């Protein structure tokens, strides 16, 4: 099946939107380093590493746009060609997704009182997503053709996106269940836990919706590049959800402090167990 040149603009629109989200992510990184100077060095290094990957991803996306719209302007046959930059952007999207899933797996591990089985399940599915996307990227570089890649490896790319959705759903449901359990343990913290539950659903729904949309376009619209424009955005959404999770801690602490003031209580021991999934260990904690 030949690619419809009329859908070529979808990758340009996707690149523009992903660049906007890249700017949002950079602002979030600046806010993080400003507001959380006492976070552990390994967490700061983790954020810096994700930032570097995100910037490289943006560079690859726009390098592919240059190749498609400038270097090969007017070359209709080039619409079916897969540049190496596109293939590498697929791998980096999977890497950003994997790192985000790892952070949430860490939160689940602590919220669930160190339930290794649930955490390992999340990590196995996340690794499957990373492996399938990495294989897809390598095969794209080898085949260099969207029709050829679709004909032989439609299942592989679909599996990667499907696994990503599965991990999102598992994480969201796990956080919902674990936070509901915490909610029953303290009437005073109902408001903050309700906020955490809503926050978990919002993040999981946003990333899942984008991934599902990309997968449906890939499977159903077999002569279209709309899936690729959406795929450019997927990695940015995961990266932004990661930083939004880290940056939400101060707001949640303020809500918690307000609740304590209103009830004239002093319960510092509740803080770590309640907002575990958004409050990494600080540098001076063990």
Query: What is the tens place of the pLDDT at every residue in 178-218?
Result: 887 776 666 555 566 666 677 677 777 889 999 999 999 99
CA dist., res. 152 & res. 156, Å (int):
9
- Bridge partners (DSSP) of residue 39 are 282
pLDDT for residue 215: 96
pLDDT of residue 185: 61
Cβ-contact 276, 250 below 8 angstroms: no
Helix (H, G, I), strand (E, B) or coil at 115: coil
CA-wise closest residue to 231 among 205, 210, 248, 253: 210
Mean pLDDT of 233-250: 90
Tokens standing for 67? 């190749």
pLDDT at residue 192, rounded to an integer = 65
Q: Return the residue matching tokens 């932004």.
A: 240
Cα angle for residues 149, 16, 43 (degrees, 5° grid) = 85
- Average pLDDT rounded to a whole number, residues 229-257: 84
- Quick one: pLDDT at residue 254? 65
- Better pLDDT: 159 or 1: 159
Across 222-249, average pLDDT: 92
Q: SS3 for 281?
A: coil
Choice among 77-86, 199-208, 210-219, 257-266 with the minimum mean pLDDT: 257-266
Asked whether the predicted pLDDT for residue 246 surpasses 50, the reply is yes
211 contacts 164 by C-beta, under 8 angstroms: yes
8 A C-beta contact, residue 277 and residue 110: yes
Could you give the domains of the chain?
A: 5-278 (1.20.1070)
pLDDT at 194: 65
pTM above 0.75, yes or no: yes
pLDDT of residue 269: 42
Q: Is 240 helix (H, G, I), strand (E, B) or coil?
A: helix
Asked whether the predicted pLDDT for residue 126 surpasses 80, the reply is: yes
**Alpha-carbon gap, residue 28 to 222, rounded angstroms:** 36
The pLDDT of residue 81 is above 80: yes
Helical packing angle, 41-66 and 9-35, nearest 10°: 160
> pLDDT tier at 49 (50, 70, 90 boundaries)?
very high
Summarised one tens digit per residue, pLDDT across range 2-47 is 787 888 889 999 999 999 999 999 999 999 999 999 999 999 999 9
| Whole-number Å distance between alpha carbons of 88 and 241 | 22
Contact 230, 12 (CB under 8 A): no
The three-state secondary structure class of 39 is strand
Segment 161-183 mean pLDDT: 88
In whole angstroms, what is the distance from residue 279 CA to residue 214 CA?
32
Token pair, residue 113, equals: 């009182």
Nearest to 267 by CA among 168, 185, 202, 146: 185
How many H helices and E strands in the chain?
9, 0
Computed over every residue of the chain, the mean pLDDT equals: 85
| Selection from 30, 85, 32 nearest residue 62 by Cα | 85
H or E stretch including 103?
helix 84-111
- Give the C-alpha distances (Å, rounded to integers) separating 199 from 120, 194, 208, 273: 23, 8, 14, 17
């Amino acid at each position: 099946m030949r690619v419809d040149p009329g859908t070529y603009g979808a990758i340009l629109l996707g690149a523009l939107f992903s660049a906007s989200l890249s700017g949002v992510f950079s602002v979030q990184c600046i806010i993080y380093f400003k507001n959380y100077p006492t976070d552990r060095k390994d967490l700061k290094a983790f954020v810096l590493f994700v930032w570097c990957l995100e910037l490289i991803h943006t560079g690859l996306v726009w390098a592919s746009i240059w190749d498609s719209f400038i270097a090969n302007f007017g070359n209709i046959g080039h619409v079916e060609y897969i540049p190496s930059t596109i293939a590498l952007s697929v791998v980096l999207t999977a890497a950003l997704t994997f790192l985000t899933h790892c952070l949430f797996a860490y939160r689940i591990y602590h919220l669930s009182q160190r339930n290794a089985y649930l955490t390992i399940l999340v990590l196995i599915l996340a690794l499957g997503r990373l492996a399938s996307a990495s294989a897809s990227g390598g095969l794209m570089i080898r085949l260099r053709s969207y029709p050829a890649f679709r004909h032989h490896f439609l299942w592989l790319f679909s599996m990667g996106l499907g696994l990503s959705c599965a991990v999102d759903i598992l994480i969201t449901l796990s956080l919902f269940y674990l936070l509901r359990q915490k909610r029953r343990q303290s009437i005073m913290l109902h408001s903050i836990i309700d906020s955490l539950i809503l926050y978990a659903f919002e993040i999981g729904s946003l990333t899942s919706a984008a991934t599902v949309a990309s997968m449906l376009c890939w499977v159903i619209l077999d002569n279209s590049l709309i899936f690729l424009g959406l795929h450019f955005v997927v990695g940015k959404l995961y990266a932004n959800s990661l930083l939004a999770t880290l940056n939400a801690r101060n707001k949640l602490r303020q809500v918690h402090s307000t609740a304590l003031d209103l009830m004239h209580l002093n319960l510092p021991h509740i803080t770590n167990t309640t907002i575990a999934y958004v409050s990494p260990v600080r540098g001076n904690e063990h």
